[in-house]
């Protein structure tokens, strides 16, 4: 169980960390996604910050398990909001969303399985 916990947590932290960097450096892809979903571009850095905090929180969970649980929960909620944004504009391009959402759910699941709810 420990190996699964470490692997999934690190994978989730890396995925979200890379996404956060693309949002924070002003890459064109997050801007295009924001335009497609009719989200103000001013939100892009804030969304990147949330991804970065989620990524760092997953890693901090190795030292303080509650932080990892809270970070994984926050990422699940973040990607639930992303799904709503996709569906609101009629977008059916959900492959990328699915990868990130499943990773966040997996991180939450292994965190709870390894550490317990509290």
Please tell me the predicted confidence (pLDDT) of residue 39: 93
The average confidence (pLDDT) of the chain is 95
Q: List the one residue out of 41, 45, 4 whose CA is nearest residue 25.
A: 45
User: Does the pLDDT value for residue 117 go beyond 80?
Assistant: no
What is the domain extent for residue 99?
A: 2-115
Count: domains in the chain = 1
What is the pLDDT averaged over residues 30-34?
A: 93
Q: Are the C-beta atoms of 17 and 109 separated by less than 8 Å?
A: no
């Amino acid at each position: 169980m420990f190996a699964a916990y470490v692997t999934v947590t690190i994978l989730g932290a890396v995925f979200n960390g890379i996404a956060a960097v693309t949002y924070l450096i002003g890459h064109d892809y997050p801007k295009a996604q924001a335009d497609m979903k009719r989200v103000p571009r001013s939100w892009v850095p804030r969304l990147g910050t949330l991804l970065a905090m989620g990524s760092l929180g997953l890693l901090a969970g190795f030292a303080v398990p509650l932080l990892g649980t809270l970070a994984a929960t926050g990422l699940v909620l973040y990607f639930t909001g992303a799904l709503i944004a996709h569906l609101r504009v009629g977008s059916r391009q959900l492959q990328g969303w699915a990868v990130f959402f499943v990773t966040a759910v997996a991180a939450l699941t292994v965190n709870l399985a390894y550490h317990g709810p509290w």
